[in-house]
Amino acid sequence: MTIFNQNDPKRLTEDGVREDLQRQPHIFMKLAENALTVAESLRDNYFKNTASFVAALRRAIHAAGQGQRTEAILETANIPRLDWEMLRDEVVTFIDGGVGNVQISSQIPILLRVGSYMVRTGERNLAEREHFGYYPVILGDLEGGSKERSDFIDIVRITAELLGGLSALQRTPDLRVLMFHGPLVYLMSGYAGHTPFTEKDIDLFLDQYAPDRELGQNLKDEFLEQAKLDIYPQMTDRSDEWSERRIFEPLSWIAFLYRKLIQEAKIRNPRPVIVGVVERGKLREFSEKKLLERVFRGLRQKGNEDYFNKMYGRTDLKSPKNLLDRLGYTDTLLLAMILEPGQMSETWDISKYAGLREGNISLPGEAGTSRVNYAPLKSSQIGFPDIQGCYLHVSETTEPIRIEVFKELGGNQITEAAGRTYLYSRMLPGYGFPIGLDIADKYAHVPNWLTNAYGKLIKHQLGVSLQSGEISDAQMRRILIQAIYMTHRDWLFRPNN
Amino acid sequence: MSSTANVDKNSKYVGTIIGESTSREFRLAVAHETIREQDIIAVDAELRHPDGNQPPEQIRVWAKVQRIERLNPLFPSEAGHELAETRTDPFDTILSLSREMVTAVCQVLGAEPIDGKSGGKLDHLRYPPQPATRAYRPDSSDIARVVLGDLQEKQKRALDIATLSNRPEVDVLVDGHSIVTRHLAILAMTGAGKSVTARRIIEQLAKKNYPIVIFDPHGDYTGLSEVDGLKTRVKRYYAQFPIFEEDSETIAEIVNTLGYQLTDTMRSRFSDLFRAATSFIVDDPKEMKERTEWLAKAIGRPEIADYGVNPNMWLVANLAEAGELALRNDNGDENKAKLVELGWPGFDKYTKTDGRTLEGIKKRTYRAASALSRMEKTNQIVAKSAEPLPVDRKELVKYGQISIIALAGYTGDFQATIYSLIADTIFEARVTGELRLPTLLLLEEAHNFAPARAMTPAEHRAISTTKQIAQEGRKFGVGLILVSQRPSRLDETTLSQANSFIIMRMVNPADQNFVRKVIETLGEDEARILPDLDVGEAILSGQLINFPVLVKIKKSESEGEREEKDAFEELEKAYKDLRNNQS
Ligand SMILES: Nc1ncnc2c1ncn2[C@@H]1O[C@H](COP(=O)(O)OP(=O)(O)O)[C@@H](O)[C@H]1O
Ligand SMILES: [Mg+2]
C-alpha cells in the first residue's frame, strides 16, 4: 500500500522529502499557509528549509533504527494489523456530539445532541446488529453554565458525550470498544470558571442518559457525596454551601464521570478499549516535549546548538518551543512528513491539566464571584485521569490522527485502540478517520431544517424562545424538538422494530 | 368513512408525507418493503373553503407510487470500494447497514369526497396534501371504484380485461367505448402478451356483438373460433390477391418481383395484355363458358375447360400464351381475330417479333402465377379455411361477427395491398353510408400497415389508408386496434391518433423513447419500468382508464396459433408417429 520505501535512500534527502510533499497536497497546503504567517525572514526558504529539516529528522530516525545512534529521537512502529475476521462478534460503540444552530444574523445554538452508534460485528440480524441512540439537550433549559461564554456549549457537549459513553458501557455488558470523536479528555483548564449546574440541569442530562431514574439518582448522589467529603472542600471555602445547594461544579462533575467510566471498565473482563480519536489536531506537545526536545539535546551534546539558527539565518531558534512558535509546525504536520502510512508514533503521557489553578466562579443566580481552586482536580483520586496518546498515519492522503486512552486501564489500551482505529479508518481511506465515528457524526448532526423550510421570523421566534427557556409546556417542547429534526433524517429516529 | 375504517387505516399504513408536497406530487417516507412501484395509495385531507363559512370538506387524495428510492446514507461509496478491494463481508465490519432511507415518490391522481359518494370520479387536487400526513393502502373495493371512475355508471361499456398487478383481487375494467371509437394501440416486444391481450379484448367486445375485422398475418387469432360461444360467430377467410382490382403497372411490378424482370418492350405490351385479361371475364355464364373453351383449345390445355378460368394471374399467363401462339402459328389468323374481339387493344397490328415478346411475358407471368398460388395455398392452410374473401367486402362487417382475414403466406407488400383494398372499401362504405354498422379493424403487426417510412408503393398505399382511418375513423364509426412489436417503426401521426394505450414489456430503448414521446399520458417513471414488466403485465394509459395503472391482463379464453411448444418434445412425438405409421 505504501509508496514510501523504508530503505529508499532518497527518502532521507531533501529532494526525497520534496517529492513526498508533492504527493501530499494537504500537507503542502498547510506549509504554504504557514509560510505566509511566519516572519518575513523565514518565508523565502520556508519550503526548502522545512524539507531539509525533515530530511535531517528522517536521517536521525533511520540511523537510530540501524543502531548507528544510541538515542532514538522518535520510536515508530507499524500499527498492529488486525482484520475483520479476527474482530468478529465485537460490540463497538461510537459517540459523537453535534450542535443545532439557527441561522439568524448570528448563529444561536439551540440544542445539543449526542449520537451513539453501537454495532456488533458479524451479526447479520440488523435489529441485533445496530443500535442508534441520541441524547438531546436544549441549551436554553439549563440554569447553570455561563451562557455568555462561547465555550458554554462545549462543557454541555463534553458532559453529554461522557454520559452517552457511560450509558453505553453500563448498558452493554460485552462492550469491547468505546470510541469517542475528539480528545478523550479535553484541556480542562480552558473550561474552568463556569457557573455550576443545578440539580435540575443534571436531571435534564440524566433524563436522556439513564435507563431508569434510580440509576440517575444514584449517580448524582454518589457525586454529591464525594463532592461534599473530598472535592468541594479542597476547591472552595464555601463548600458547605455548595453541598447544601446540591450544585454541580462542571469540572469536578466531568472529572467524576471520567472516573466512573474507568471504574466501570476496570471490573470488566476483557477490559473494554476506551479511546478518543482526534482529527486535525492542533496539538504540538509531542513535537515540543518529545521529538524536538531530543533533537535539541542531541545538538547540545554534539555542541551544535546553533544548528537551526544557521539553517534559518536567525539567532532566536534556541528551544523546541521557539522553533515551533516561529515556524508554525504542529504534531500532525511534522508527523505527516515523518511517519509512513501504516505507522504509529511512540506513546507519551499527554499533559492535560497543567493550567488548572485558582480562578473565579459565580454560583447560579448570583451576581458576584468567589474564588475557587481547580488545582486539586489534577489528582486522579478526586480529579481527572491520566491520559496517554500516540499518532497514527492511516493513509498517504491524510494527516496523522491522534488516539488517546486512559493510562489507568493498562498498556494494552493503546495497541488495541491503534489496531482498531486503523482498521476502522481504512474504510474511509480518503478521510483517514474511523468510519464508525463518521456514522455517529452524521447521526448526531443537527440539520439545518429551520433554515430552508420556514420563514426567518418563525425561526427567530422559535430560536429565541427555546434559547431563553420560554417554552415550558412539555408537549409543545416535544413538538418543537421533533420539528427541528423533521428532515430527511427522520428515518434515523424511527423505532427499531 | 366510518370510525372502524379509521382503525384499520392503521394496519394499512404505508408511510408519511415528507418534504415539499405539491398538488401533483409528494414524497413518502416508507418502511422497508412495505410498498411497490405502481401501488395505488391514499391520503386523507381536509379542505377549507376559501370563504370560510362552510364546514371543511373531508377528501381522500389518491396517488400512485411512481418510483421508490432506497439509500443508505451511512454507507459511503468509498467504504464500498474498500470492501470490494479486500473482499470483506460488510456484516463483519462496523459499517451501518440498518438505516436505509426508503422514499416513495407519488403522483397525485386526484381527489374525491372521503365518503366515496362521487362514484369514483376524481377531481383535480388544487391544494397540496399536508406534510406529515399518513398515507395508507385503501380497500380493494375503493381502489376498484376509482380505477373504474366514470365507467361505474356506464357498466355497459366496461370490458373486463385485467387485474391490478400489485393487488390481484382488484379487477380492472376498461372503457370499451373509447377503444372502439377512438383507437387503441397495444405495444410491446414479442412474447410480452400483445396477442393474448388483443384476443381478450376481442372476446369481450364480441359479448357486445361489436363487428370486428381482424387482419391476421400469423394466424394468432384463428383460436378465437374454438371458444365456446364464438364458434358460429367467427368467420375465417383466406385471402386471394385480387389482381384485377389493380392497375397493369402494379401487376407488371408483381410479375417483375415474383417472376423475372420484364424488359421495356415486354412492359409496353403487358398493359395491352392486362386489358385483354380484364375484359376476358364477363358476367354471362354462357359466354364465359364459350370463352373458356376457346382458350383451352387455343393453348392446348384442356384442363382449363374443366376447371374454368378465374380472375387471377394464371389467366394473364394463359392469354399471353394464346397471343404468342396466334402470332407464331402460320394458321393463327382466326385466333388473332378472336383475341382482338375479346378486347386486346391493337393486337391486329402485332408482328412476329411481338410473338417473342409475348413468349417472354408468358414465361414470367406463369412463374409469377405459380409463386402467387403458393402463397395463396400457404395462406389457406394457415387460415384453416376454405372460404375465400366475400366478393362484396362489406359482408365482412356483420352484427356480432368476427371476421378474420388470414394474411399468412403472403409477403409484406401483398399483405399491405390486401389490407388496403379491404380497409378502403369498408371505410368508403361507411363514409357513403352503404355500410350501416360501425366496425373495428384490428391490425396485428401494425407497423406493416402503418410504417413510419413507406418504401414501396404498397406500403405507401397502406399508410395512407391507415392514416385516414386513424384521423377520420371516429366520425365514421371505424375504430382501429393497432398491435405492434416495433412501435418505433409505426407512423407517428397514426399512433398519436390513438387515445388508448396498452403498453407491455419493452426492452428496446428506441421503442421506449418513441412510446414515451408519442404517449402523453405515459409518465417517465412508467416508461422506466417497461423493461421489467412480466409477460402479461401492462400499463394501461389513456381514455380506456381513469388514470394509468399497472395491470396483469387476464388470459384470453382463446389460444394463439403459436403457443410455444418444446421443440425437442415435438420432434420425439413426430418421430413416434412416423414409426407407428411405418409398422
Ligand atoms: N395475460 C397473460 N397471462 C398469462 N400468460 C400470458 C399472458 N399474455 C401472454 N402470456 C403468455 O405469453 C405467450 C406469448 O404471448 P403473445 O400474446 O403471443 O405475445 P406477443 O403477441 O406479444 O408476441 C403466450 O403464449 C402466453 O403463454
Ligand atoms: Mg403476437
Structural domain for A38, as ranges: 9-73+284-329
For B144-156, write each residue's pLDDT tens digit.
Answer: 888 887 776 777 8
Q: Which residue in A has a C-alpha nearest to residue B77's C-alpha?
A: A428
The answer to whether residue A253 is domain-embedded is yes
A374 and A400 in a common domain: yes
B87 and B198 in a common domain: no
Instruction: Among B346, B378, B410, identify where a domain stops.
Output: B378
B interface test, pick of A398, A427, A479, A490 with most B CB neighbours within 10 Å: A427
For B254-287, write each residue's pLDDT tens digit.
Answer: 898 888 899 999 999 999 999 999 999 999 999 9
B341 and B411 in a common domain: no
Mean pLDDT estimate for chain A: 84
pLDDT of A491 over the 90 cut? no
Q: Is the CB of B565 under 6 A from ligand 1?
A: no
B271 and B198 in a common domain: no
Q: Which ligand is nearest to the CA of B556?
A: 1
d(CA B190, CA B24): 35
A364 and A228 in a common domain: yes
* Ligand 2 (single-atom ion) residues, CB below 5 Å: B 194-195
* pLDDT for residue A110: 65
For A293-303, write each residue's pLDDT tens digit.
Answer: 998 988 898 88
pLDDT of A458 over the 50 cut? no
The contacts found for B351-356 with CB under 8 angstroms, 24 or more apart, are B351/B327, B352/B327, B352/B328, B354/B269, B354/B323, B354/B327, B355/B323, B355/B324, B355/B327, B355/B328
A212 and A141 in a common domain: yes
A271 and A362 in a common domain: yes
For A327-380, write each residue's pLDDT tens digit.
Answer: 889 999 999 999 999 999 999 999 999 899 999 999 988 888 999 999 999 988
B446 and B525 in a common domain: yes
A397 and A441 in a common domain: yes
C-alpha cell at A428: 474511509
The answer to whether residue A403 is domain-embedded is yes
Under DSSP, is residue A112 helix (H, G, I), strand (E, B) or coil?
strand
B414 and B348 in a common domain: no
A161 and A182 in a common domain: yes
Residue contact A132–B88, C-beta within 8 A: no
pLDDT of A475 over the 70 cut? no
pLDDT of A35 over the 90 cut? no
Nearest to A2 by CA among A271, A342, A251: A342
A272 and A375 in a common domain: yes
pLDDT > 70 fraction of chain B, expressed in percent and rounded? 97
Angle at A275 between CA A267 and CA A438, to 5 degrees: 130
| ipTM of the shown complex | 0.82
* pLDDT for residue A100: 58
| Nearest neighbour of A491 by CB, restricted to B29, B78, B91 | B29
How far does the centroid of ligand 2 lie from the alpha carbon of residue B232, in Å?
Answer: 24
Under DSSP, is residue B540 helix (H, G, I), strand (E, B) or coil?
strand
Nearest to A487 by CA among A448, A444, A438, A442: A448
User: Which position has the higher pLDDT, B363 or A281?
Assistant: B363
The answer to whether residue B573 is domain-embedded is no
Q: Which residues of A touch B (CB under 8 A)?
A: 84-85, 87-88, 92, 94, 117, 119, 121-124, 126-127, 129-130, 132, 424, 426-431, 435-436, 438-439, 442-443, 486, 488, 490-492, 494, 496
Integer-rounded Cα Rg, in Å, for chain B is 32
A468 and A431 in a common domain: no
The answer to whether residue A111 is domain-embedded is yes
* pLDDT for residue A474: 59
B304 and B318 in a common domain: yes
Question: A243 pLDDT band (50/70/90 cuts)?
Answer: very high
The answer to whether residue A222 is domain-embedded is yes
Q: Computed from CA positions of residues A189, A190, A196, A199, in that sequence, does the dihedral angle turn out positive or negative? A: negative
User: Which position has the higher pLDDT, A307 or A210?
Assistant: A307
Mean pLDDT estimate for chain B: 90
A288 and A276 in a common domain: no
A174 and A157 in a common domain: yes
Query: In testing the pocket of ligand 1, which one of B161, B196, B197 has its CB within 8 Å of the most ligand atoms?
Result: B196
Number of CB atoms found within 10 A of residue B415's CB: 26
Q: Which ligand is nearest to the CA of B551?
A: 1
B352 and B398 in a common domain: no
A144 and A224 in a common domain: yes
For B289-338, write each residue's pLDDT tens digit.
Answer: 999 999 999 999 999 988 889 889 999 999 999 999 999 888 778 889 99
pLDDT of A103 over the 80 cut? no
For A37-93, write each residue's pLDDT tens digit.
Answer: 877 777 777 888 888 889 988 888 888 878 777 778 888 899 999 999 999 999 999
Question: B172 pLDDT band (50/70/90 cuts)?
Answer: very high
Q: Which ligand is nearest to the CA of B559?
A: 1
User: Which position has the higher pLDDT, A137 or A307?
Assistant: A307
Name A389's bridge partners.
A348, A404
Number of domains in chain B: 3
Residue bearing the CA closest to ligand 1, atom 9 = B193
Residue bearing the CA closest to ligand 1, atom 1 = B536
The answer to whether residue A82 is domain-embedded is no
For B336-381, write each residue's pLDDT tens digit.
Answer: 999 999 889 889 899 989 999 999 999 999 999 999 999 999 898 8
Number of domains in chain A: 3
The answer to whether residue B465 is domain-embedded is yes
A409 and A372 in a common domain: yes
A interface test, pick of B94, B96, B97, B99 with most A CB neighbours within 10 Å: B94
* pLDDT for residue B1: 40
Chain A nearest CA to B492, separation (Å)? 43
Structural domain for B96, as ranges: 3-138
B357 and B253 in a common domain: yes
